[in-house]
Chains A and B, each alone.
Chain A
Amino acid sequence: MEIIRAHRLSFSYGSDFSLSEISLSVGEGEVVALLGPNGSGKTTLLRCMNSLVIPPPATVFVKSKDILTYPQNELAKKIGYVPQSHNPSFPFTVFDAVLMGRASHLSIFQLPSRHDEDVAELSLKMVGIYHLKDRVYTQISGGEKQLVLIARALAQEPEALLLDEPTAHLDFRNQVSVLKVIRKLGRERNLAVLMSLHEPNLALLFSDKVAIMNGGRIAAFGEAKSVVTKENIEMNYGIEVESVQKGGISYLVPKV
């Protein structure tokens, strides 16, 4: 079932950053990767899909309803958002940080209950970082921080996850482990996942579908294998690549 959809979405902040005529949808249990050069509009699209910036009416739909009809807290129960960079000002513990994912389920004057704490613990277990529970969030590694943010989004009990470059600033090993967790969540929790990535081969390995963005438009959208091709990558990134076959997948290596 389709969870989030953009339909002929055009948006602009001022003159530079803009999206035009974007149409895209993500269904239950589906992992969609957004590729595209810097400034192509990936982050803006993700922000529109969560109404962190307000899209025009009837262009973004969550479970077939216009996103603008959702109050902020109702939307947060449908969509979990994992931001790109995170600069926490206070050294909360990992557990307290994940617990904050419960905000949309609590009124302004409510404290988290035993049930909310259980949900936070379960979220930590789902991403495999329960052992970090009592560590201070500001003192763990970049890969672990990313997993904490994913756990926090899971604590919202959403039906979709939006992730803005979940592998940014991570080493190779951590990129792979974070993406494994994301794919597993799509498969096992049946979440609709939309994430932006920089590395086409990781998109091939970890997503079902890929959309390539360029200049605020969708240049290609479809099955990962049919979109991440030599032609599409060369045309949209403006570099030359070679295709390397391995186990039925054509990986792309830049020509240097």
Chain B
Amino acid sequence: MAWRRASWRYVATLLLPIPFFIISLFVGTYPIPPDAAVSVLVLKIFPFLGQPTTPQIYETIIFDIRLPRIILAIAGGIALSVSGASLQGLFRNPLVDSYILGVSAGAGLGAALAIAFLPDLPGSAQILSFALGFAAFLTTYFVAKNRGETPVVSLVLAGIIVTALFSAALSIIKFFTDVNRLAGVVYWLMGSLAVSGWEEVLQVLPLITVAFIVLFMMRWRINVLSLGEEEAKALGVKIERDRFIVLAASTLMVSAFVSVAGVIGWIGLVVPHTVRMLLRTPDNRVVIPISASLGAVFMLLADDLARSIASFELPVGVITTVIGAPFFLYLLKRRGGVVWK
């Protein structure tokens, strides 16, 4: 039986990121006892309760290092999984993720350009990767557009072409870049939240929030779009307009996140798919909110692992792949992909 909205397990799943948020504050190379972390947090929010008795360094680590990073992880998990769920509906295909429209290749090229040629300009990697990530999507969209229509098949093909071209340009830059900067490019491409601070949060959070609200409000409309172009049109949907809004909002949130964290794969694929199997319904009225919640949890967990399983920091993109790919395989084998026909 499909999950009902307003059932206890639905609400509990929506609230699941909260405990993971708190646990993540304790995790890291610098040991902070949980009780100290909680007291630092409580006293920061309710300063009238008294003066902190814990060392000042605790507050710095929790508020200037861990908290922005946790917020970014949550925002990124939401961005990747919600855009994945939306695009899978739009493309009527389970193997679509947030990167199908060329965003990752565009963002990668932007970051590489900045790292290779503008290493002294602060923020250039973020700005260029966001700009080129979104530009890659627009290129895909307008290449696919023909006589006022953008069929899904054309979008997929155009996405492949644009990805190939941007990747080729990225290869050329890698080829001509000196070894030290090349290492920076490669590390960026693996995806990591290591450099995130409040500045990055302020850059990307508004974009992700706006795009999320748009997709969240369109969650039932995405059901109708998943019937395919012709049927949606016959049901009275302005297909070109609605499709562009879903594409643009999805790309906007993903480009924003990728611009600060690099290309982190598999979340957009694994999370919505798991959610559909768990909820036993493809209804985006519940799939999109639960994907947001579990996407945030998955990303928090992956980032906690990235900063705690080794004495040095691992790229979180590697961890999401190492967890995500086998888990996806397990789901497909166990359930025979029943959620898809």
Give A contacts to B, CB under 8 Å. 50, 52, 71-77, 81, 83, 86-93, 96, 100-101, 103-104, 106, 108-112, 138, 152, 156
Contacts and interface: CB of A to CB of B under 8 A. Distances in A.
B59 interface: no
Interface-central residue, B231, B232, B234, by most chain A CB under 10 Å: B234
A200 to B, nearest CB: 27
Interface string B242-256: 100100000000000
A109 B221 contact: yes
A89 B233 CA distance: 17
Contacts of B268: none
A247 to B, nearest CB: 38
Interface stretch (B171-179, B281-289, B294-302, B303-311): B281-289
Interface size class on chain B is 35 or more
Given A109-B217, A109-B218, A110-B220, A89 B237 contact: no
B154 interface: no
A60 B67 CA distance: 62
Nearest to A71: B238
A90 B157 CA distance: 22
Contacts of A152: 235
Interface string B300-341: 000000000000000000000000000000000000001111
Interface in B51-89: 89
Contacts, number: 88
Given A83-B230, A88-B227, A89-B340, A103 B236 contact: yes
A92 B282 CA distance: 6
Given A83-B230, A100-B224, A108 B242 contact: yes
Contact of A83 (B231, B239, B242): B231
Given A108-B245, A109-B218, A110-B220, A93 B234 contact: no
Contacts of B235: 76, 100-101, 103-104, 152, 156
Contacts of A52: 230, 233-234
B341 A103 contact: no
Given A89-B226, A108-B242, A109-B221, A75 B236 contact: yes
B236 A77 contact: yes
Contacts of A86: 231
A221 B239 CA distance: 35
B223 A73 contact: no
Contacts of B232: 103
Contacts of B39: none
B92 interface: yes
A212 to B, nearest CB: 25
B233 A90 contact: no
Contacts of A74: 236
Nearest to B237: A103
A194 to B, nearest CB: 14
B230 A73 contact: no
15 contacts: A52-B234, A72-B237, A83-B231, A89-B226, A90-B282, A91-B338, A92-B281, A92-B282, A100-B224, A100-B235, A103-B221, A103-B237, A106-B221, A108-B241, A112-B220
A136 to B, nearest CB: 9
Interface-central residue, A50, A87, A109, by most chain B CB under 10 Å: A109
B236 A104 contact: yes
A186 B241 CA distance: 34
A91 B245 contact: no
Given A76-B234, A90-B226, 15 more contacts: A52-B230, A52-B234, A71-B238, A72-B236, A74-B236, A76-B236, A87-B228, A90-B89, A91-B282, A93-B2, A100-B227, A101-B235, A108-B241, A138-B341, A152-B235
Nearest to A79: B234
B234 A96 contact: no
Contacts of A50: 234
Interface string B195-239: 000000000000000000000011111011011101111111111
A108 B245 CA distance: 10
A87 B283 CA distance: 17
Contacts of A81: 234
A108 B221 contact: yes
Contacts of A96: 223, 281, 283
A110 B223 CA distance: 12
Nearest to A138: B341
A92 B108 CA distance: 37
Given A52-B230, A90-B226, A73 B218 contact: no
B227 A111 contact: no
Contacts of A87: 228
A112 B237 CA distance: 14
A92 B237 contact: no
Interface string B27-70: 00000000000000000000000000000000000000000000
